[in-house]
Amino acid sequence: MGTALSADILLRYGGSLPRYTSYPTAAQFDASVGAAQAEDWLRAVPAGMPVSLYLHVPFCDSLCLFCGCTTSVMRDAAGRAAYAALLADELRRVAALLGPGHPVRHVQWGGGTPSALPAESMRMVMETIRGLFAVRADSEIAIELDPRALPDDYPDVLRAQGFNRVSLGVQDFDPVVQMACGRIQSRARTEECVAQIRRAGIRSVNIDLIYGLPYQTVGSVGETAATVAGALRPDRLAVFGYAHVPWKQKRQELLPEHALPGPAERLAQRERIDAVLRAAGYRGVGLDHYARPDDMLARAAEAGTMRRNFQGYTVDPAPVLVGVGASAISAFPQGMTQNDVSTASYIRRMAARPDGLPVARGLCRSAEDRLRGEVIERLMCDLRVDPLALAGRSGQAASVQAAGWFAQAGPALRQAAADGFVTLDGSMIRVTEAGRPFLRHIAALFDAYHRPGTGRHAAAL
């Protein structure tokens, strides 16, 4: 952006917004959709259709105060192994409903800290996946790792099981920030972890950074970004704005709230990180990702084939994502479902129906939801969309609907154009580079469920 934003712009684009990793968002989930619908939707997946898998491991060795993920401390190895056995059991139930041999080209492990599973348990679950699904040799198999808790032998274990991409949390190297957030992680340990991963032959490394944490400054986040880009040289980076949601995650109440930067400072921190990473040769991708020009994500963004799901930006084109484990979310053309969030409830639900799924809530998607979702996804991925042209592919009724949405969004779009955040050419909307931080604001104009001033989402800026 390059210049300080005026107070009226900060006010106009304030409030809270979804991150739009799905549409409708998880805020619309309820108990009217459950296991029966999920099981029907799995049975309806055509034979041979590719599916993707997400496995959630809700355990960490310690809890970072800023974290909004569903995770808890679990130090007992037997308990971790028992949870892995449940993942394998749920995978078998899913495969029984899908039918045998569905192609899988993307497997994502998240958490928590998936490497909390004993190595033998990780091997067992991966062997279960390969026995139930047709995992291609060129599949992307990815995992989130905490450098502080990674056993020395784990990178070789991962490589032997076909993992080819890892994502490491760094967040910030400033000791003052780390102390405030309860996450002490040295640069030396992080560099050694990356070196271990590279030596094991895992080809792609992603680094997560966060701005907007207590005591961060424009200078400190710039130094962290420069260190990461220069010393670690990841293939991709995800640069998230800290989401302060203490009503959802009580641990965040322990953060020094008075030291959290305000919206103007957060935007300035984001801008500094952006400048550092672009100067180091990375390309901006979507809302908050960066990638080397030869990385698959950068190529997909350039080609207009990048997608967005509950794990963020991806090159995965599969129409079905199956979430396995406590709190995991699945996405189907017909709707979305979420497993029981707490580990204890997940275990009880798995035991209650030996062949059923541990789904607790979800939603059905209407034709209008799917069309609005496509408009929002293309905005979030491509920074441009023509809602009328997109709707035209679905017929006259969809075109009439989209014309109504576009007209309703017109005043806000024209204001965004006056602010320099979009350009308008007929019904084509293009988000400018200055408007990239405001991408969720533009997407929200096509969200039928969003009501400004209501709902509990992360801060918009």
Q: What residue segments make up the domains of the chain, in order of their start?
A: 1-20+366-448, 25-324
Distance separating alpha carbons of residues 174 and 244, to the nearest angstrom: 20
pTM greater than the 0.85 cutoff: yes
The domain over range 1-20+366-448 is classified in CATH as 3.40.50.720? no
Q: What is the pLDDT of residue 322?
A: 98
The count of C-alpha atoms lying within 13 angstroms of the C-alpha of 332, restricted to the half-sphere facing its C-beta, is 21
The count of C-alpha atoms lying within 13 angstroms of the C-alpha of 289, restricted to the half-sphere facing its C-beta, is 27
pLDDT digits (tens, 9 = 90+) for 315-324: 999 999 999 9
CATH fold match for the domains 1-20+366-448 and 25-324: no
Q: What is the pLDDT of residue 455?
A: 61
Distance separating alpha carbons of residues 355 and 411, to the nearest angstrom: 52
| Range 336-344 contact pairs with CB under 8 angstroms and sequence separation of 24 or more | 336/22, 336/24, 336/26, 336/29, 336/362, 336/363, 336/365, 337/33, 337/34, 337/35, 337/37, 337/38, 337/41, 337/361, 337/362, 338/26, 338/29, 338/362, 341/70, 343/58, 343/72, 343/83
Cβ atoms of 182 and 227 within 8 Å: the answer is no
Averages of pLDDT over runs of 10 residues in the chain (461 residues) are 71 90 95 98 96 96 87 87 98 96 95 94 98 94 95 95 96 97 96 97 97 97 98 97 90 95 95 98 97 97 96 94 97 98 96 95 97 97 96 89 93 96 97 96 96 74 83
Distance of CA 255 to the CA centre of its chain: 23
Q: What is the pLDDT of residue 454?
A: 64
pLDDT digits (tens, 9 = 90+) for 168-178: 999 999 999 99
State in Å, rounded, how far the first CA of the chain is from the last one: 14
What one-letter code names the amino acid at 275? A
What 8-state DSSP symbol labels residue 6? Answer: P
Scan for tokens 């739009």, then name that residue. Answer: 20
Q: What is the pLDDT of residue 176?
A: 97
Burial 48-75 (b: 16+ CB within 10 A, else e): eebbbbbbbbbbbeebbbbbbbbbeebe
Q: What is the pLDDT of residue 106?
A: 97
- With residues binned 3-state (H G I as helix, E B as strand, rest as coil), the percentages for the chain, rounded to 5, are 45, 20, 35
Cβ within 8 Å of residue 375, ≥6 positions away: 385, 387, 390, 391, 402, 405, 446
Q: What is the pLDDT of residue 73?
A: 84
Distance separating alpha carbons of residues 18 and 212, to the nearest angstrom: 17
Residue 335: closest CA among 16, 132, 42: 42
With H, G, I as helix, E, B as strand and everything else as coil, classify residue 111.
Answer: strand
- Output the CATH code of domain 25-324: 3.80.30.20
Q: What is the pLDDT of residue 4?
A: 63
With H, G, I as helix, E, B as strand and everything else as coil, classify residue 49.
Answer: coil
Between β-strands 236-241 and 329-332, what pairing exists: parallel, antiparallel or unpaired? unpaired
Cβ within 8 Å of residue 120, ≥6 positions away: 81
Between β-strands 312-314 and 320-324, what pairing exists: parallel, antiparallel or unpaired? unpaired
The count of C-alpha atoms lying within 13 angstroms of the C-alpha of 267, restricted to the half-sphere facing its C-beta, is 21
395: cis peptide before it, omega within 30°?
no
Cβ atoms of 236 and 194 within 8 Å: the answer is no
For residue 183, CA distances in Å to 65, 113, 116, 176, 207 come to 8, 14, 17, 10, 16
For residue 65, CA distances in Å to 172, 248, 296, 342 come to 13, 12, 33, 19
